[in-house]
Amino acid sequence: MSTVKEAQERATRIALKEDRARDAARALQEREAERKAAILKTAQLRALRLANGDTAAVQRKKAK
């Protein structure tokens, strides 16, 4: 039979595991948001370069 102390320890372990899972999910969401922001910023900068007539910089980028 489980004692009260064992049950409390098990509940603590489960709670810590759930906390780690939530933290991992939150970190993944943050990384994804940062990745999307970087892609958007890159697209905006490319559009600005094209609008300013700096096609040489865009062509160099595509050639790589």
Q: How many domains does the chain have?
A: 1
Dihedral sign, Cα of residue 31, residue 36, residue 37, residue 38: positive
What is the pTM (predicted TM-score) of this model? Answer: 0.61
Q: Is 58 exposed, middle or buried (0-12, 13-18, 19+ CB in 10 A)?
A: middle
Do 57 and 49 contact (CB within 8 A), yes or no?
A: yes
Largest CA distance in the chain: 78
Position 42 scores a pLDDT of 96
| 17-64 confidence digits (pLDDT tens) | 999 999 999 999 999 999 999 999 999 999 998 888 866 666 666 676
Going from the C-alpha of 31 to that of each of 18, 28, 44, the distances in angstroms are 20, 5, 20
Position 13 scores a pLDDT of 97
Residue-number span of the structural domain to which 38 is assigned: 4-63
Position 52 scores a pLDDT of 84
